Amino acid sequence: MLRSCLLILSLIITSCSAPADIRDSRFIMGTLVEFTVTGMDEATATTAISEAANEMQRIEDLFTIYGDHDNSIKQFNRSEIGVPLLLPDEVSKLLNSSLEIKKKSNGAYDPALGKLNMLWGFSQPDSPSLPPGKQEIEAAIPPLHCIEKTEAGWIRSDERCVLDFGAIAKGYAIDRGIETLKQHGIHNAIINAGGDIRLIGRHGDRPWRIGIRHPRNKGEVIKSLELEGDVAVVTSGDYERFYIYGGARYHHILNPESGMPATEVQSSTVMAESAMLADAWSTALFILGNQSPAVIDGINIKSLIIDYKGEIIINTL
Ligand code: ADP
Ligand code: MG
């Protein structure tokens, strides 16, 4: 009797002291970033989350082309044509990765669309409500190859060549956030930046559970996933930054060939080993639509693509 009482008591104590979720959120990169850590004492988790958030803010400052804060990307964007500029290693590395994804995606993802993105204005504080004129659009499309790396630094060969890491920096920031958590000894965590996610480990004795939202029915989940280990899931959609004009939807993911918002897809989700890759590829597949399987053949990513009719056209998740 005494033994079973002691056993029950010890079970209760164990379950009471089992660490719960420690959560916090911070507004970074124009979105609410939610951190959840589990299986760790509160003091360590709280410190780790705060440093992860600071690291993500550092990435925003390093890569943003908006706001008053100067950085090397803005310097490159105003650099003289043909004059090399040395970029910090971290920036140079992400630019290399970006150009590689541009190549592999047949130009669907292009980090040099800054002029075009600024013209459409979806990331400006005052949201636009009118599409720009045809001539203005044509004048803002950069030539296919306009950035070059030399011994002396990076060179832009055309005025229309303006860097914008808007489709990759959030993913990279999430990766840096996860890296920071790991450095604090955290093995089980999830960072959710407005639906762009990377997770590590498990959620207690279960996998992490995430939902991919329906592109048209807010609050509806089109697919839920149970994941564990170390994986990223990122979605690009036409439903967050958009307006309707003349009955048509205009949004922030642009087809680099036409300079217009891409029209084949409502949302594309990519699962990859890093949030950086998932972020850039989700944007690329948004433009590629049903050409995606041929383009990503041999590349280690999975996807869920919903076309303009709201039908799932590709699902390898
Ligand atoms: P979100 O920022 O909503 O997560 P994305 O990751 O798809 O969406 O990134 C869209 C942003 O990337 C745009 O706001 C713009 O700055 C930039 N962008 C738009 N079209 C492209 C493209 N074809 N290639 C690379 N970047 C793009
Ligand atoms: Mg993206």
Tell me how far the alpha carbon of residue 278 lies from the centroid of ligand 2, in angstroms: 7
Question: What would the mean pLDDT of 46-70 be, rounded to a whole number?
Answer: 97
Whole-number pLDDT of residue 34? 98
Please tell me the distance between residue 253's alpha carbon and the centre of ligand 2 in angstroms: 9
Is 230 annotated as belonging to a binding site?
no
Using alpha carbons, list the distances in angstroms from residue 204 to 9, 57, 143, 201, 225. Answer: 21, 28, 50, 9, 16
Task: Tell whether 158 is in a known binding site.
Answer: no
CB of 109 within 6 A of ligand 1: the answer is yes
Residue ranges covered by each domain of the chain: 63-156
**pLDDT above 70 (res 179):** yes
Average pLDDT for the chain: 94
Ligand 1 pocket, residue 257 CB under 6 Å: no
Q: What's the confidence (pLDDT) of residue 198?
A: 98
63-156 is a CATH 1.10.3980.10 domain: yes
SS (H, E, C) the chain: CHHHHHHHHHHHHHHHHCCCCEEEEEEECCEEEEEEECCCCHHHHHHHHHHHHHHHHHHHHHHCCCCCCCCHHHHHHCCCCCCCECCCHHHHHHHHHHHHHHHHCCCCCCCCEHHHHHHHCCCCCCCCCCCCCHHHHHHHCCCCCCEEEECCEEEECCCCCECCCCCCHHHHHHHHHHHHHHHCCCCCEEEEECCEEEEEECECCECEEEEEECCCCCCCEEEEEEECEEEEEEEEECCCCEEEECCEEEECCECCCCCCECCCEEEEEEEECCHHHHHHHHHHHHHHHHHHHHHCCCCCCEEEEEECCCCEEEECC
The answer to whether the annotation marks 316 as part of a ligand binding site is no
Ligand 1 atom closest to 236 (CA): 7
Q: Is 284 in the pocket of ligand 1 (CB under 6 A)?
A: no
Residues whose Cβ atom is located within 5 A of ion ligand 2:
167, 236, 279, 282-283
Indicate whether residue 225 lines ligand 1 (CB < 6 A): no
Ligand 1 proximity of 141 Cβ (cutoff 6 Å) = no
| Alpha-carbon 301 to chain mean position | 15
Model confidence pLDDT, tens digit, residues 108-163: 999 999 999 999 999 988 878 899 999 999 999 999 999 999 999 999 999 999 99
Ligand nearest to the CA of residue 111, numbered in listed order: 1
Compute the average pLDDT of residues 56-71. Answer: 96
Cα–Cα distance measured from residue 107 to residue 113, given in angstroms and rounded to the nearest whole number:
11
Name the residue of 162, 260, 283 to mutate for ligand 1: max ligand atoms within 8 A of Cβ.
283
Taking only the tens place, the pLDDT of each residue in 261-289 is: 999 999 999 999 999 999 999 999 999 99
